[in-house]
Amino acid sequence: MPMRSAASPRRWPRSCATTWVSLATLLAAILLPAPATAYTAQEARKLAGEYKNDGVRAYQDGRVGEAVEKLSAAIDINLNDFFAHFYLGLAYRDLRRYTEAHRVLEITTHLDPRYLPSYVALGDVALGQGDPDEARTWFQTALNRQATYSPALDGMGRLAEARGDEDAAIISYRRAIDANRGYPDPYVHLGALYHRQERVDDAIALFQEAIHFQPGFAKGYLYLGIAYGRLGLRTQAASLLAKSAELKPEDPEPHIAMGDLLAAWEDRIQARKQYETALLLGPQRFEPRRGLAELARREGRYQEADDLLDQALTLPGLSDATRTDLLALQTTLRREARRAETARHRLALARAAADADDGGSLETATAPVAGPGSEESARELGWSWLETARLRHDAGDLAGA
């Protein structure tokens, strides 16, 4: 048998080679990603249509987060799907993701320049961003194409309100109602304006009309519930707000409104639960944080309240009026916190004085003591007679709180 030379390559047995090939195949199957499923054009269109339909249905049912997911998937497959873009823009608008909403809705104006709701939605986004001039441009664009287009007239009313011109707002809302009696939004917006003007009966009538024309209109139940709540009709208010939340389960508005009413009724535990639910549903909303800050303030938790207001002030899209309101509340809060700290400090001094006094009581420590040297003794304990009187007053206030 011939000897193998030293330079000859070593040959592995056939069984070993087969084993290595099998291992390599197994590792490749584990480590390498599976090839993407290939769809025919017809299958891709069908899948995109299913995503779009599911997304539109989710949006109409108030499941806005799910709508964003489904509609985004539809657009990934079909970049030119108009209604997927439109409803995705509405969903972003409702979530107050205004930059994304503007980007998506502007695409719809290129895909179909004749579709007027796109211009109104862009006006809504501009109002949310605090840009009334741009909002007017979009609303006016829709009106230039159709002078009696009710949603655009309603938008002009909201624009007038944002600018503080309530008379112009009422005129625009009335024009919107006259242009389309079945469109519910101007009824609600005009009713809300009347409600702020203390025209409660007129407001309630408008809210009821909105629900009559569109029984599934969540905003109608919301505002009617708020109106009844402020009239003290608790059962009716709770029922209407629950109906609004049922119609739009991902909308924080009913929970904010219920939190406000419960706080006004001094039911702080339930109010806090409603605000916390609203905060989960709408993390970009300032109202739940403001409500929670008010509750913390009433309970003397000033630092917690201050932190909540700081968070609210950093949120995007705050109007100038909202920012001014939050800053004013924070200023008041900090002033109250300083007063409370001063009262606690004086009460601590009073207790220390009481411990040092023979009588061992707060009344003995704070009452004027007759006899020679009494004023000097009070000063040695850190008092003057004026401070003693102030202490008695502050201690009584603190006990009452």
Structural domain count of the chain:
1
First to last CA, the chain: 109
Tokens of 288: 């739940």
Quick one: which of 312, 315, 318 has its CA closest to 275?
Answer: 312
pLDDT of amino acid 350: 82
> Per the domain annotation, does 390 fall within a domain?
yes
Quick one: which of 376, 379, 350, 377 has its CA closest to 365?
Answer: 350
Cα angle vertex 362, ends 358, 363, to 5°? 90
Is residue 340 within 8 A of residue 302, CB to CB? The reply is yes
pLDDT of amino acid 38: 57
- What secondary structure does DSSP assign to 55-110, as a single string? HHHHHHTT-HHHHHHHHHHHHHH-TT-HHHHHHHHHHHHHTT-HHHHHHHHHHHHH
> Per the domain annotation, does 148 fall within a domain?
no
Separation of alpha carbons 342 and 265, rounded Å = 30
Length of the chain (residues): 401
> Per the domain annotation, does 385 fall within a domain?
yes
Beta-carbon contacts of residue 141 (< 8 Å; ≥ 6 apart): 119
pLDDT of amino acid 96: 86
Is residue 67 within 8 A of residue 56, CB to CB? The reply is yes
Domain that holds residue 376: 353-400
> Per the domain annotation, does 384 fall within a domain?
yes
pLDDT of amino acid 57: 94
pLDDT along the chain (401 residues), means of 10: 47 49 49 54 85 93 90 93 96 91 96 96 93 96 97 97 94 97 95 94 96 93 94 92 92 94 93 96 92 94 95 85 92 92 86 69 46 39 40 42 38
pLDDT of amino acid 352: 82
Cα angle vertex 75, ends 70, 76, to 5°? 95
pLDDT of amino acid 11: 53
pLDDT of amino acid 204: 96
Instruction: Indicate the SS3 state at residue 272.
Output: helix
> Per the domain annotation, does 95 fall within a domain?
no
> Per the domain annotation, does 175 fall within a domain?
no
